[in-house]
Amino acid sequence: MNIQDIVVEIDAEISILQQVKALLTGTSTTENRKPSRPATTSLPSNARTRRTLSAEAREKIADAQRARWAKSRKAVKKAVRSTAVASTAKKATPSGLRETIPKKRTLSVGARAKIAAAQKTRWAKVRETAKKATSAKVAKKSAPVGKTAAKTGASKTKAPIAAAPTTPVTAVS
């Protein structure tokens, strides 16, 4: 026997031993992973398996739900009939569901105008305070800054350069 055959047999034996270990511990060593990473379990011991329902069980559940819906519809129709008998002016709809939903309320034109005017004044105040804040920032920037400026009375802004005297222009007639 040559060395190559011995190595192949040892590898086969190692593979069989790893499979036996995986069966005993519940881990899978056949997954591709880096050698530095530990093998993880394929399924945790407390994992729930997904159960399936038979066709008969699904049908039973569906029938029960249909019965619940029928009971609900019957109660609504009964309520509609009792209100229809009390007030003959109202007509009951075929399904009877519209009578239970209250009518949507809307604002009058005057109310909408009042709300719009109030909102405009609110936004005008917001704009006014923003304008005051920006003008205060500009004033703050032009004010003397620092201890040395306060002591000397100098500001950071440069003094205007005096222009050369000019001769007055007179109109000649």
Instruction: Give the tens place of pLDDT for each residue, 97-106.
Output: 555 677 788 9
Residues 93 and 114 in one domain: no
On whether residue 83 sits in a domain, the answer given is yes
How far apart are alpha carbons 11 and 3 in whole angstroms?
12
Q: How many domains does the chain have?
A: 2
Instruction: Kindly indicate the confidence band of residue 150, based on its pLDDT and cuts at 50, 70 and 90.
Output: low
On whether residue 92 sits in a domain, the answer given is yes
Whether 163 has a pLDDT exceeding 80, the answer reads no
Structural domain of residue 126, as residue ranges? 106-140
Residues 92 and 64 in one domain: yes
On whether residue 31 sits in a domain, the answer given is no
Q: What pLDDT shows up at residue 115? A: 97
How far apart are alpha carbons 79 and 99 in whole angstroms?
9
Q: Are 41 and 27 in contact (CB under 8 A)?
A: yes
On whether residue 127 sits in a domain, the answer given is yes
Q: What is the mean pLDDT of residues 158-162?
A: 59
Residues 114 and 94 in one domain: no
Residue-wise pLDDT for 12-65, tens only, equals 999 999 999 988 887 655 555 666 666 555 555 566 778 899 999 999 999 999
On whether residue 22 sits in a domain, the answer given is no
Instruction: Kindly indicate the confidence band of residue 83, based on its pLDDT and cuts at 50, 70 and 90.
Output: confident
How far apart are alpha carbons 99 and 90 in whole angstroms?
9
Burial tier of 28 (Cβ tally within 10 Å: 0-12, 13-18, 19+): middle
On whether residue 9 sits in a domain, the answer given is no
On whether residue 35 sits in a domain, the answer given is no
On whether residue 163 sits in a domain, the answer given is no
How far apart are alpha carbons 83 and 90 in whole angstroms?
8
Residues 81 and 113 in one domain: no
pTM for this prediction: 0.25
Residues 78 and 110 in one domain: no
Q: What is the mean pLDDT of residues 2-10?
A: 91
Residues 96 and 80 in one domain: yes
